[in-house]
Amino acid sequence: MSNKTNGKTSINLNIDAMIDPNEVDETWYPKYGYRLPSLLASNEAQEVVYPVGIKFILKKDSQGIENLINWLPTTQAFIPHEAVRDVINSIKGKKLENTEVKIGEITERESHYGNSKFWTVDTNVQLAVKGSHEKDDVVGFGFCFRNGYNTGIALGMDFYTMRISCTNGAIARDHDLGSKTILHVGNDSQKLLQVFEESMYSALNRGQDLIDFYSALTRLKINQKMATHIYKHLHMPDKYFPEYFQIKPEEERKKRKDAVAILTTDGKSNTLWEVFNDITKPVWHSMDPVQVNKRDSTTGRVIRDKEGNPEKTTKPGSNFYSVTRTTQGLHSVMRQIISDKARFVN
């Protein structure tokens, strides 16, 4: 929270600093209450020494008090989450112009203490994965919009897919598949809507490319070389790998120079599409809240009721950002194998 006194804002920057009254971006102030003042470094006499190169994100609350939300480099554009949310919600239930694509449910999620926001947007587009081990294996297509305040999450859009049979979701970030980073739209919500719609049209035109990629995964059975590559390059906790990936204990890994993820005999009967879904299922559902035993904050002991049964509490699941990173990484690793089959099959 900002401590506002005589036009100055205090924050721990390890320097003496003050707001530059001549450099305040009020682009989004009228509608959403955001001001972004630039910062100046000052000396003990409160004389300006040099620009710091950052700007604060200040938001006015219901009492008219400006709270410090975060900060950005002065060169980085700022789009409030509220503006993105309003534009996305404005298309719910509508059809994209000149298409039969209808926008369905919209789910908002957050990470980084609310500084990153994600909106998954369902549509009525569904395509079958040819060659799948499962009959009528259908994937629903949608979009995942994103926005962040100094979190490494740029305003943009990626593909969002949902396997209908088991509700496994995944995010595919690939410029060849329609992913887009949106740079500058000013404060014009109509321009933002236009850019979003153009992004969705572009992605839909590449939808068949993604389904062809999934179908290609059905035509290759996993082998040890592929398993080693997947384990090495897919950076995620071991618990999300399928049981047919036998992960060597940490102490044994240090002694071995060969594979630390050994593919079992049963595992070799699976296609890459099966492996893909055996990974996305636990990763996606890791966001589900879980019931755990209540524990005393001091002793760590389980709290029990009068009958001696453990009391339960709800623990939130994984954050959406970690899920997007993992499923994007999975697409990338699988694409590396498909694109260089000779390296992995021989």
Q: At what angle do helices 189-205 and 81-89 cross, to 10 degrees?
A: 60
Q: pLDDT value at position 255?
A: 56
Task: Tell me the average pLDDT of the chain.
Answer: 84
Q: How confident is the model at residue 17 (pLDDT cuts 50, 70, 90)?
A: low
**Boundaries of domain holding 54:** 3-73
Q: Are 115 and 161 found together in one domain?
A: yes
Give the pair of three-digit tokens for residue 107: 């789910």
Is 60 exceeded by the pLDDT of residue 8? no
Q: pLDDT value at position 234?
A: 92
CB 323 within 8 A of CB 283: yes
Give the pair of three-digit tokens for residue 10: 């205090």
Give the pair of three-digit tokens for residue 178: 């329609």
> SS3 for 220-270, per residue?
CECCHHHHHHHHHHCCCCHHHCCCCEEECCHHHHCCCCCCCEEECCCHHHC
Is 90 exceeded by the pLDDT of residue 131? no
Q: Are 88 and 69 found together in one domain?
A: no
Q: Are 46 and 127 found together in one domain?
A: no
Q: pLDDT value at position 40?
A: 82
Is 90 exceeded by the pLDDT of residue 230? yes
Average of per-residue pLDDT across 245-271:
78
The CA–CA distances, whole Å, from 97 to 102, 124, 203, 276 equal 10, 14, 15, 34
Q: How confident is the model at residue 204 (pLDDT cuts 50, 70, 90)?
A: confident
Nearest alpha carbon to residue 338 among 226, 175, 201: 226
Write down which residue in 42, 73, 104 finishes a domain.
73
Burial category of 56 from C-beta neighbours within 10 Å (exposed 0-12, middle 13-18, buried 19 and up): buried
Q: Are 302 and 340 found together in one domain?
A: yes
Average of per-residue pLDDT across 14-27:
74
Q: Are 142 and 210 found together in one domain?
A: yes
Q: pLDDT value at position 257?
A: 53
Write down which residue in 53, 73, 93 finishes a domain.
73
Q: Are 179 and 246 found together in one domain?
A: no
Q: Are 282 and 303 found together in one domain?
A: yes
Q: How confident is the model at residue 211 (pLDDT cuts 50, 70, 90)?
A: confident
Q: pLDDT value at position 181?
A: 67
CB 59 within 8 A of CB 34: yes
Average of per-residue pLDDT across 174-184:
57
Q: Are 103 and 51 found together in one domain?
A: no
Q: Are 98 and 127 found together in one domain?
A: yes
Average of per-residue pLDDT across 295-308:
89
Is 60 exceeded by the pLDDT of residue 11? no
Regarding predicted confidence, which is higher, 207 or 311? Answer: 311
Q: pLDDT value at position 148?
A: 93
Ranges 43-47, 294-298, 299-303: which has the least confidence: 43-47
Q: Are 95 and 199 found together in one domain?
A: yes
Average of per-residue pLDDT across 163-187:
66
Number of domains in the chain: 3
CB 229 within 8 A of CB 260: no
Is 70 exceeded by the pLDDT of residue 14? no
Write down which residue in 197, 215, 233 finishes a domain.
215
Q: Where are the beta strands (DSSP E) in the chain?
A: 3-5, 8-10, 17-25, 34-42, 48-60, 66-73, 103-111, 116-128, 138-148, 156-163, 168-172, 180-181, 245-247, 261-263, 290-293, 312-315
Q: Are 88 and 7 found together in one domain?
A: no
Q: Are 151 and 237 found together in one domain?
A: no
Is 70 exceeded by the pLDDT of residue 250? no
Is 90 exceeded by the pLDDT of residue 206? no
3-class DSSP assignment, residue 189: helix
Q: How confident is the model at residue 13 (pLDDT cuts 50, 70, 90)?
A: very low
CB 133 within 8 A of CB 218: yes
3-class DSSP assignment, residue 155: coil
Q: pLDDT value at position 113?
A: 92
3-class DSSP assignment, residue 291: strand
Q: How confident is the model at residue 10 (pLDDT cuts 50, 70, 90)?
A: very low
Cα–chain center distance at 344: 30
Is 90 exceeded by the pLDDT of residue 118? yes
Please state, in angstroms and rounded to a whole number, the distance separating the CA atoms of residues 344 and 346.
Answer: 6
Cα–chain center distance at 42: 38
Is 80 exceeded by the pLDDT of residue 175? no
Average of per-residue pLDDT across 27-37:
92
Is 80 exceeded by the pLDDT of residue 346? no
